[in-house]
Amino acid sequence: MALSDDDAIERLASKVIDRSLPKAEWTHEAHFATALWLLRNRPDLATAVEIREIITRYNEATNKANMDSGGYHHTITLASMRAAAEHLRQNSPDAPLHAVFLSLMASPLGHPDWLLSYWSRETLFSVAARRAWVEPDRTPLPF
């Protein structure tokens, strides 16, 4: 799915919310595009409780089990939401969302392993971090 305009990002986020997005399209880019859209357009759904519910239900709808070894990951989700919120704040409120998204993806956050700058692999992929927020063990998040 090309995310080159605001309408495409809105369609993507809507498909995540209504659980109709094909699992193959739930990529690193799609996660951040959805986060940005929610933060800007539906902040009521961008809370820790609501985003957990959205992703957990989405995973279940696409036959992805939410277990200690896969599915929803709370620390990764909250860190990504914080990163997206900070990136959104750094842009004009009227900046086209696709431009904000493209600049985010061109930043270090665009690399799928960006979290490993803050967490060791062992800590980030622990059961504790999957279930609840775990503070970074390498260096604090800057946002």
- Residue 32 forms part of a structural domain: yes
- Residue 135 forms part of a structural domain: no
pLDDT in tens, 10-19: 999 999 999 9
Number of compact structural domains in the chain: 1
Q: Average pLDDT of each block of 10 consecutive residues along the chain (143 residues)?
A: 92 98 96 98 98 98 95 98 98 97 97 97 98 98 94
- Residue 121 forms part of a structural domain: no
- Residue 60 forms part of a structural domain: yes
Q: What 3-state class would DSSP assign to 67?
A: strand
- Residue 26 forms part of a structural domain: yes
Residue pair 10/4 in contact (Cβ under 8 Å)? The answer is no
Q: What is the pLDDT of residue 1?
A: 64
Any idea which residue has 């200690």 for tokens? 68
- Residue 117 forms part of a structural domain: no
- Residue 22 forms part of a structural domain: yes
By residue range, what is the domain housing residue 81? 6-112
Which residues, in sequence order, are CB contacts of 6 under 8 Å at separation 6+?
96, 97, 98
- Residue 130 forms part of a structural domain: no
Structure tokens at 74: 């709370």
- Over its C-alpha atoms, the chain yields an Rg (Å, rounded) of 14
pLDDT in tens, 97-120: 999 999 999 999 999 999 999 999
